[in-house]
Chains A and B, each alone.
Chain A
Amino acid sequence: MRDVAIISFAQSVSARESERNEVEFLMPVVREAIAASGIERSEIGFTCSGSSDFLQGQPFAFVMALDAVGAWPPIRESHVEQDGAWALYEAWVKIQTGEVESALVYGFGKGASGDLGEILALSLDPYCVTPLWPHADSIAALQARAWIEAGRGTERSLAEITSRSRRAARSNPHAIVSGDETPDELLARPYVASPLRAHDCAANGDGASAVVLAAGDLARSVCSRPAWIRGIDHRVDPASLGVRDLTRAPSAELAGLRAGVGRDRIDVAELYAPYAHQEAILRQALGLPETTNVNPSGGALCGHVMMSCGLQRIGEVARRILSGTADRGVGHATHGPALQQNLVCVLEGE
């Protein structure tokens, strides 16, 4: 396997991008990531993006985003209808083939322009589930109650996760919400979909993120401390909610195992958990000890850009390794209802 590293990361998140379109808010993020990489735009070998045409409301909407990248002279480019974390996986594979030495990866979405929870009903089984139009919060609530009634945690556990996340988000300039509430104060608020309260559900927003990847010698020549990808894997559980144990995330367990999460200590983990109980499920699935700093950014609960959030989790870990504040970390991305799909990326400094 070739050594591949993240050498730069940039992000932009807001509660609502009412003035700028996707190209307009993506362009500064792409520019910032490329400038920080130390590689000329024209020298980047591959470009891969993650976004959803469902959010933009028209087919092949992602093609327009190429205006933010600059596609002349012609570039080698690809797109996944997935979070940018999966675009990162494709770019990593592309570098593994030996065809290119570097790649630009970005993800973007306007999740706050509509009711994201209702739009996501369109990604469920089109015959058996979508015609009922369950909101994404409701699907997560079914999982949360199953998790509580299986004895894995309590509503207080949810409040503790949310309280810690909102306090962490106070030092994250990209967070949409933050706070200083105690778990008791959070428990006094009403349900949005019992047993979940509004603060137990992701704060949806609009935005974008970008990273630049480089292979071995190139990474070392432009970056003093690259964040090396030591393992990356993604797995999928059955789509049907009834045929799997909702209190666990078997695909996250398998992806974590294959990415080598447990081979050494993990200083920091950024988990894409759009609902509070999912952080606990993922923490268990990846076997993270109490000593791991989980979601120091505040995580998806405090700022959730659909199609970018997973790449941001990996970027948040990379940022800490690039700056030398962490040595080994794990970035995680999810997709689909109730943690159906999971991607795990282990990063390490030298």
Chain B
Amino acid sequence: MGETETGGETLRARHVLEYPFRRSLGPILERFFTGLTEQRFVGSRLDDGRVVVPPAEFDPVTAAALGADRLTEVGPGGVVTTWTWVGAPGPKHPLDRPFAWALIRLDGADAPFLHAVDVAQESAMRTGLRVKPRWAAAPVGSIRDVACFEAEA
């Protein structure tokens, strides 16, 4: 509850929009994000044999629970499977200069995931481009522990 005060004719009240709950990652995503702090990528094997990154707690096709025994290390290198260009990045974006969004399939994985790719210009992007992660200096267990991806030398 905010403090209410009367100022002339107008009633004013402080209103704080907040999310007063704590969320936990659960047993599978926890391993993925812990892996990122150690500069490793962890995926998981689905019932149909495909390896997905980030790992899934439940099979997206069969909905079966997938245990920690399905976890497997993948990457760190990978390949761009589709992409688009961000010519005017916003303040929340991972990079403050024009960059590409891409779906990146890590080596050893079958399903790609979204991240940013730092290349100098749009003409340097293409599907099939080999990329590697650039790790954040101070990892906190977030998808942003990967600062972005960049072209392999």
* Chain A residues with a Cβ under 8 A of chain B: 57-58, 118, 126-129, 131-135, 138, 141-146, 149, 191, 193-196, 238, 240-244, 246
Contact B60 A134 (CB under 8 A): no
Q: Which residues from A are CB-within-8-Å of B115?
A: 132
Q: Which residues from A are CB-within-8-Å of B52?
A: 240, 242-243
The answer, among B101, B113, B122, for a CB contact under 8 Å with A128, is B113
Q: Which residues from A are CB-within-8-Å of B33?
A: 127
Q: Which residues from A are CB-within-8-Å of B50?
A: 243
Q: Number of contact residues on B: which range applies?
A: 35 or more
Q: Which residues from A are CB-within-8-Å of B23?
A: 126
Question: Cβ of B135 < 8 Å from any Cβ of A?
Answer: no
* Alpha-carbon distance A142/B102, docked complex (angstroms): 7
Contact A142 B93 (CB under 8 A): no
Return A237 CB to nearest CB of chain B, in Å: 9
Contact A243 B60 (CB under 8 A): yes
Q: Which residues from A are CB-within-8-Å of B25?
A: 127
Query: Do A241 and B122 form a contact, CB below 8 Å, given A193-B84, A193-B86?
Result: no
28 contacts between A and B (CB under 8 A): A127-B25, A127-B33, A127-B143, A128-B114, A128-B143, A132-B94, A133-B92, A138-B84, A138-B101, A141-B84, A141-B101, A142-B82, A145-B83, A146-B81, A146-B103, A149-B82, A193-B84, A240-B52, A240-B56, A240-B60, A241-B103, A241-B112, A241-B113, A242-B53, A242-B105, A242-B111, A243-B50, A243-B52
Contacts A132-B94, A241-B114 aside, 5 further interface pairs with beta carbons under 8 A come to A58-B17, A128-B29, A138-B86, A193-B85, A243-B50
Interface of B is mostly: mixed
Q: Which residues from B are CB-within-8-Å of A238?
A: 60-61
Question: Cβ of B121 < 8 Å from any Cβ of A?
Answer: no
Residue ID in chain B nearest A247 by CB atoms: B82
Q: Which residues from B are CB-within-8-Å of A128?
A: 29, 54, 113-114, 143
Residue ID in chain B nearest A141 by CB atoms: B84
Query: Do A129 and B114 form a contact, CB below 8 Å, given A238-B60, A240-B52?
Result: yes
Return B119 CB to nearest CB of chain A, in Å: 13
Q: Which residues from B are CB-within-8-Å of A133?
A: 90, 92-93
Contact B144 A131 (CB under 8 A): yes
* Chain B residues with a Cβ under 8 A of chain A: 17, 23, 25, 29, 33, 50, 52-54, 56, 60-61, 81-87, 90, 92-94, 101-103, 105, 111-116, 122, 127, 142-144
The answer, among B87, B103, B111, B144, for a CB contact under 8 Å with A132, is B144
* Alpha-carbon distance A10/B112, docked complex (angstroms): 43
* Alpha-carbon distance A129/B104, docked complex (angstroms): 13
* Alpha-carbon distance A223/B114, docked complex (angstroms): 51
Return A125 CB to nearest CB of chain B, in Å: 8
Residue ID in chain B nearest A244 by CB atoms: B60
Q: Which residues from B are CB-within-8-Å of A126?
A: 23
Contact A194 B122 (CB under 8 A): yes
By Cβ-Cβ distance, the 4 closest A-B pairs, closest first, are A141-B84, A238-B60, A242-B111, A133-B92
* Alpha-carbon distance A238/B50, docked complex (angstroms): 15
Q: Which residues from A are CB-within-8-Å of B90?
A: 118, 133, 135
Contact A149 B127 (CB under 8 A): yes
Query: Do A240 and B111 form a contact, CB below 8 Å, given A141-B84, A193-B86?
Result: yes
* Alpha-carbon distance A244/B93, docked complex (angstroms): 25
* Alpha-carbon distance A129/B143, docked complex (angstroms): 8
